[in-house]
Amino acid sequence: MIKLDDIRRHAAARPDAIAVADGATRLSWADLADAADRCAAGLMARLPDTGPVRAVFLARPSWELTVALAACATLGVPCTGLDPAQEGDRLDALLRMLDPCAVFVESRYRPLLEGRTWPNGPGCSWITLDTAPGGEADAPKASGAPRTEVSLRRLSESEPLRRLPEPRHRESLDVVPGGQRVAVRGAATEGRGLVALIDEFGFDAYDIHLVAAPLWLPLSLNLARTLLAVGATVVLDATQDARTLAGLVTAEHVTTAVFDPAVLGRLLADPASAPLARLGRLRCVITPGRHLGRWTVNAAWERLGPALHLAYTTPGTGPSVILGPEEGQVSRMRTGRATLGTTIAVLDEEGAVLPAGRPGRVAVGGPHVMDGYLDGEDDAFVTLDTGAGERRFFVTDDLGVLDEQGRLTLTGRGSGVTPPARDHALDAALFRLESDLLNLPCLRDAAVVRVSLPTLGDALVVPFIAVAVGREVSGHTALRTACARRVPSLPAHVIAVDHIPYSPMGRIRTAELLEAVVPIITLSLQLEQSERQEIPT
Amino acid sequence: MTFLPSPGLFEDAPDADLDSGFFALEGELLELACVRECAVVHTELPELGGALVVAFVPLAPEQEIAGRRAVLAACQRNLPALYAHAVAVDELPRTAEGAVRDGELLDGVMPQLARDLMSPMAMSD
């Protein structure tokens, strides 16, 4: 994120201009400078004097996270974002690899970190970003944990720094998807990447940039940092709600944006996005585009205007290939041109550069490419001469082909097709359960839906229509027995309903069905729980 | 006279063919404008073995059947040797990078797959 001296520079030039907007909270450049200054001072007092000093964050985009990241950048503490949706084993491995001395966490993600251990864990400072309802957010410590905990608000009550400290490190760390490795970028690489992004998209201080993707996504963080570096306003959204986003684009006069692909899909499918193209202010919308299809490109053109840029980006390569809005109309998906300063090469099995039209392994060289991995291995790098002198290239796992105009089309992955790990016994049990349900005479219809919800956990929801009024109890018993016999590893919530919604093709409309039955099941579970508590009393 | 299949006739296609066919299919599915989103997963289905599961989000409820036809036709063109099952979903579970969460997707569609494969309508596929 942007450093304090850069924030102060903007604060001196335009102290009252808005730097960060997050809902009703608006930080001017002067406010942001003051908050980052105090936060950096409070954080500095809590960091160890020796050893590698790193931080991690688990939070949605917010002004508090922006201040925390600015404080870390000022002190030279690499602060790496973690994906809250990743599996626990991967999170454990990442925490051991990064070994953070400070953790910035939003209350909702706190349970994900509780109970996890890493070498610096016992002495690690936990900084809660949001204030829980009812006052100070300092939550009770887990039993036996000697760590220190403080809220960002309390951290920001520190006296401002008298002079800027010497940065502890000059690098940033990004997690490679899959959570197995961490990409390292030095300050020089970061600076080159930032300048290249400004040149590529023409960002300036009059831009208003919407962040609708989590900041642990390197593309999202890089763009937010770049826009703040040029003095633009950054508008943060944590709701991921289509209507809220459409409202923000209109109300804040957004000119550039970064979207999570799923959120972009929801926005484009929502009627609220229909008038956005007519506003004419949105000039650049960037989203990771490797997995997006034709409908998204067409709908974005219609609803947002000529603004959508699909970026092919990984933490290793950075945004190396871009498919612009006009090119998107005439090129195949997964095609794009190299970003400014980036060179794409396609290599054969021996590592030699292939001519245009020949498919092979994609290698990327340029300002956005990482310097190496945290574990020190650099086996993925080669030195190539593509006609402009020798240059270091990162060899990706992607297969692709370059055309005569230098456009790259991704054609596959070097690692091939990898089927997801499955519990085949459970899948077979679900098939047998379905067969059983077809033969139950006491049901008119039943639907099995597997859910993974915070309220129910990993479970089966089984709504059914009884064969006749008054036969709900027997249907309920039969279904519970069938579920317990066939799929004993998953709890089954059986519930009688009047209607099971179907699509014209006979598909059960699960979203509609769950919307109707999950609140009833949750309420019923809460009642059962309170009854159990009352009986001993 | 009894026809005896030559050895290897029913063996799986070589992996290289699967890889190239699978990625060509992925590319073709991304080009389909008649579905909102689409994802293909290669997995083992109970009692069927290796199969393609293609989940798609239809443009509208009434376009679900057309979307399914287009998706299955693409599968037939690119990987004719593999059984393919298309299932419509409300939303594809994606990571923030846009990659589909394969495991989560299969967890969600497996009961519907079981239902489709058990019901006479789907048997005609």
Q: Rounded to an integer, what distance in angstroms lies between the CA atom of residue A494 and that of residue A460?
A: 8
**Residue A204 vs residues A184, A209, A279: alpha-carbon distances, Å:** 27, 10, 20
| B36 → chain A, closest CA residue | A295
Look at B27 and A290 and tell me if their CB atoms are within 8 Å: no
Task: Identify all chain B residues contacting A504, using CB atoms and an 8 Å cutoff.
Answer: 61-62, 64-65
Q: Rounded CA gap, A178 and B106, in Å?
A: 18
Q: Which pLDDT belongs to residue B123?
A: 42
Residue A44 located in a structural domain: yes
d(CA A503, nearest CA chain B) in Å: 6
Domain containing residue B53: 15-123
- The proportion of chain B whose per-residue pLDDT surpasses 70, expressed as a percent, equals 82
Write the ipTM. 0.84
* Residue A30 forms part of a structural domain: yes
Does the distance separating the beta carbons of A265 and B104 come in below 8 Å? no
Residue B95, in any domain of the structure: yes
DSSP A179-228: SS-EEEEEHHHHHHHHHHHHHHHT--TT-EEEEES-TTSHHHHHHHHHHH
Whose tokens are 């997006």? That residue is A292
Contact B33, A298 (CB under 8 A): yes
- C-alpha A431/C-alpha A346 separation (Å) is 45
For B43, name the nearest residue in chain A, comparing CA atoms only: A419
Q: Does B76 touch chain A (CB under 8 A)?
A: no
**How would residue B92 be classed by pLDDT, with cut points 50, 70 and 90?**
very high
**Within 13 Å, how many C-alpha atoms sit on residue A141's CB side?**
14
Q: Is B8 on the interface with A (CB under 8 A)?
A: no
A192 inside domain? no
Write out pLDDT tens, residues A341-395.
889 999 998 889 999 999 999 999 988 888 888 877 777 889 888 887 888 899 9
Model pTM score: 0.86
Which chain A residue shows the shortest CA-CA distance from B50? A419
Beta-bridge partner residues of B125: none
Phi, psi angle pair for A92, to nearest 5°:
-60, -50
Kindly state whether B66 is in contact with chain A, defined as any CB-CB distance less than 8 angstroms.
no
Torsion sign (Cα): A351, A357, A359, A364: positive
Which of A434, A490, A514 should be substituted to probe chain B, the one whose Cβ sees the most B Cβ atoms within 10 Å? A434
Spell out which residues of chain A touch residue B59, defining contact as CB-CB under 8 Å.
Answer: 295
CA dihedral A423→B27→A179→A227, nearest 10 degrees, is: -140
B29 contacts in chain A (CB < 8 Å): 293
From B20, B64, B99, residue closest to A291, measured CB to CB: B99
* Domain assignment present for B41: yes
Sequence-distant (≥ 6) Cβ neighbours of residue A96 within 8 angstroms: A118, A119
Integer Cα distance of A345 and A336 in angstroms: 13
Is A138 part of a structural domain of the chain?
A: yes
Nearest Cα of chain B lies from the Cα of A523 at a distance, in angstroms, of 23
In this structure, what token pair is assigned to residue A260?
A: 């999570």
Residues whose CB is less than 8 angstroms from the CB of residue A374 and which lie 6 or more positions away in sequence, other chains included: A97, A98, A173, A181, A182, A183, A184
- Residue A147 belongs to domain with CATH number: 3.40.50.12780
Distance to chain B for A430, nearest Cα, Å: 6
> Comparing A31-40, A72-81, B111-120, which segment has the lowest mean pLDDT?
B111-120
pLDDT of A536: 64
List of chain A residues whose C-beta atoms are within 8 Å of the C-beta of residue B22 = 412, 417
Distance between CA atoms of residues A177 and B35, nearest Å: 27
pLDDT at A86: 85
Cβ of A504 and B68 within 8 Å?
Answer: no
Bridge partners (DSSP) of residue A285 are A257, A308
pLDDT tens digit sequence for A452-477: 888 888 899 999 998 888 888 988 99
**Residue in B37, B90, B121 nearest the CB of A510:** B90
Q: Inter-chain contact A427–B45, Cβ cutoff 8 Å? A: yes
3-state secondary structure A342-389: CEEEEECCCCCECCCCCCEEEEEECCCCCCEECCCCCCCEEEEECCCC
Helix (H, G, I), strand (E, B) or coil at A51: coil
Tell me the residue range of the domain where A508 lies. Answer: 429-534
What span, in angstroms and rounded, lies between the C-alpha atoms of A122 and A48? 12
Tens of pLDDT, residue by residue over B63-90, are 998 999 999 999 999 999 999 999 999 8
Looking at chain B, which residue has its C-alpha nearest residue A290? Answer: B98
Count of structural domains within chain A: 2
Establish if B20 touches chain A: CB-CB under 8 angstroms.
yes
For residue A518, tell me if it sits in a domain.
yes
Backbone angles phi, psi at A117, to 5 degrees: -125, 145
- Percent of chain A topping pLDDT 70: 96
Is residue B4 assigned to a domain? no
Task: Say whether residue B11 is in contact with chain A using an 8 A CB cutoff.
Answer: no
Nearest chain B Cα distance for residue A374, angstroms: 21
Which of A109, A140, A169 is a domain's end point?
Answer: A169
B112 phi-psi bin (left φ>0, alpha ψ -120 to 50, beta other) = alpha
Q: Which of A152, A169, A186 is the last residue of a domain?
A: A169
Q: If you average pLDDT over residues A36-63, what whole number do you get?
A: 89
Distance between the two ends of chain B, CA-based, in angstroms? 31
Boundary (domain end) residue, out of A102, A135, A169: A169
Residue B94 is part of a domain; what is its CATH number?
3.30.300.30
CB contact under 8 A, B62 and A399: no
Which of B12, B25, B30, B40 would best serve as a mutation to test chain A binding (most A beta carbons within 10 A)? B30
pLDDT tens-digit profile of A258-269? 999 999 999 999
Q: Can you tell me the distance from the alpha carbon of B122 to that of B69, in angstroms, rounded to the nearest whole number?
A: 13
CA A434 to chain B, closest CA, distance in angstroms equals 6
Q: pLDDT tens across A298-313, in order?
A: 999 999 999 999 999 8
Tally the C-alpha atoms within 13 A of residue A86's C-alpha that lie toward its C-beta: 22
pLDDT at position A377, please? 75
- How many CA atoms lie within 13 Å of B106's alpha carbon, on the beta-carbon side? 22
Say whether pLDDT at B103 is over 80: yes
Structural domain tally of chain B?
A: 1
Q: Which residues contact A439 (CB under 8 A, 6 or more apart)?
A: none
